[in-house]
Structure 1
Amino acid sequence: MAGVQDMQGKVVLYTGAAGGLGLQTTLQLMGRGATVVAVDNDPAKVAALQDAATSVTTGRLVVSIADLSDLEGFRAELKARLGEVGGFDVVINNAAVYPSKPFEDYSIEEHQAVQRINVDAGVVAVQEALPGMRERAFGRIINISSITISGEWANLSPYVASKGALIGLTRAWAREFGAYGITVNAIAPGAFPTDAEAIHPDPEGYVRHVLDSQAVKRRGHVGDIAHAVAFFAAEEAGFITGQTLHVNGGWVMG
């Protein structure tokens, strides 16, 4: 098992780092010795992350407030952070928006707005990180997809399309970047009790449905995702690329 300092000296760029699945992962990566550049734009969540980070005695937290819908502004913010930290060894594309309504009720502008945050911001992040990764002959890119790509969920078509696009980019980038010592993988979380569940009109019924659907009869917890991210980020995972890891309690298998 990797030691607590196995990411000492590594710099992680993590979008959506203060959210429901992000905070615990940020703390775990810091606990392994990493500097985490935590990108988020929710002041309350950022404050909670900063407070929680005070209990971690290793690693370093660098907060980056950015609106990912403003791609050029986000690029400028990343360039500034690169000047501060020297390069990104790991990129975790996690930030996402998830509006919910029938397909025919979305305007094309609404559809494009979801892709802009969920996909295009990730493209910008990788574009900015890639030159340094190539120079160092090391990089880990982790795209956070979703169980919704299995097709069971209605009224989320722009979100599902964006998460499917991340799977495609995972495979395309893995092929292109592998020669430079860079791996690219995706994680598809299942149903986790985060703010995203607020879109369900019957929360108790939804929880029953989740447990009935999973092979493992408990709710997922944020540590399940944190461990998966830490696994893909590790140097020891250097022969695994282009893969999607489903962390869903056996709801969807394959």
Structure 2
Amino acid sequence: MALPQDLEGRVVLYTGAAGGLGLQTTLALMGRGATVVAVDNDQAKVAALEAEAARVGAGRLIVSLADLSDLDGFRTVLKALLEQVGAFDVVINNAAIYPSRPFEDYSIQDHQAVQRVNVDAAIVAVQAALPAMRERGFGRIINISSITLSGQWANLSPYVASKGALVGLTRAWAREFGPYGVTVNAIAPGAFPTDAEKIHPDPDGYARHVLDSQAVKRRGHVGDIAHAIAFFAADEAGFITGQTLHVNGGWVMS
């Protein structure tokens, strides 16, 4: 009998899988039996992911270096990966860039660059995965949104806009893909101690602010996100779609 959140035999396409929350959540998915196709553009982080997977004895990892800002190139990468694995059962759209500066200092090209990586690449990933999902009558799409969508952060307008677009796509895709047996949900992480926090000029002060803001008085850790991802990816979540799960220690409640 399969255990809850058992992902044995599932193939997961995971963008941005080697950085931030990606590395440990990738290992967690592999530990649940999934084969993870990890797509990232940071060679050093990819090497660290491969080394950590080898260290813990997790052998279900396929790594692909790709620049998601090159959408045509990303399509070509996905086509080759599909030839290798056959189909993607789960797609996790996690890759993102997050420049920070006042709104008036962004060019329209800056906005478009963020949209290309954070949203358009997710569209390309889903377009690649959907035909096999529809044919099999099963699929899980998980879009990683952000607590910043609550409007409490300044100087991140292109990033926040992109995360709002992912929530909108989550709902549109959930409606459209539901008849195929495909669910689509979003996860909005709160403030986690990752590289993304390095944009703050006072990291210690920011950490204190996080704890003051949260109902749960500890920092989030990768297991919090890994459990949420595994839940949405598993068979048990088959009647949940179009939802955004906020994993933020009670900072923002909705």
Q: TM-score range by the shorter chain?
A: over 0.9
Q: Deviations over 1:187-244 (max 9, x none)?
A: 0000000000011011111011100000000000111101100000001100000000
Shift, 1:55, TM fit: 3.6
Q: Which residue of 2 aligns with 1:147?
A: 147
Residue pair 2:4, 2:236 contacting (<8 A) in 1 also: no
Residue pair 2:5, 2:230 contacting (<8 A) in 1 also: no
Secondary structure of residue in 2 paired with 1:8:
coil
Shift, 1:58, TM fit: 5.2
Is residue 251 from structure 1 mapped to residue 243 from structure 2 by the alignment?
A: no
Q: Deviations over 1:75-109 (max 9, x none)?
A: 00000000000000000000000000000100000
Q: Which residue of 2 aligns with 1:136?
A: 136
Q: Which residue of 2 aligns with 1:228?
A: 228
Structure 2 unaligned regions, length at least 5: none
Give the fraction of aligned pairs with identical amino acids, expressed as a percent: 83
Question: In 2, Cα distance between the equivalents of 1:104 and 1:146?
Answer: 22
Give, as a single letter, the amino acid of the residue that structure 2 aligns with 1:131.
P
Secondary structure of residue in 2 paired with 1:183:
strand
Is residue 161 from structure 1 mapped to residue 155 from structure 2 by the alignment?
A: no
Residue pair 2:5, 2:234 contacting (<8 A) in 1 also: no
Question: In 1, Cα distance between the equivalents of 2:158 and 2:9?
Answer: 37
Question: In 2, Cα distance between the equivalents of 1:4 and 1:228?
Answer: 13
Secondary structure of residue in 1 paired with 2:184:
strand
Secondary structure of residue in 1 paired with 2:9:
coil
Q: Deviations over 1:32-73 (max 9, x none)?
A: 111100000111110110011114445510001100000000
Question: In 2, Cα distance between the equivalents of 1:226 and 1:24?
Answer: 8
Q: Which residue of 1 aligns with 2:200?
A: 200
Q: Deviations over 1:11-49 (max 9, x none)?
A: 000000001101111111111111100000111110110
Shift, 1:180, TM fit: 0.5
TM-score with structure 2 setting the length: 0.98
Question: In 1, Cα distance between the equivalents of 2:100 and 2:36?
Answer: 31
| 1:1-254 equivalences in 2 (<5 Å) | 3=3, 6-57=6-57, 60-254=60-254
Residue pair 1:139, 1:183 contacting (<8 A) in 2 also: yes
Give, as a single letter, the amino acid of the residue that structure 1 aligns with 2:185.
N
Question: In 1, Cα distance between the equivalents of 2:234 and 2:158?
Answer: 32
Note the aligned Cα RMSD (angstroms): 1.3
Question: In 1, Cα distance between the equivalents of 2:9 and 2:191?
Answer: 33
Residue pair 1:75, 1:124 contacting (<8 A) in 2 also: yes
Residue pair 1:32, 1:59 contacting (<8 A) in 2 also: no
Shift, 1:4, TM fit: 8.1
TM-score with structure 1 setting the length: 0.98
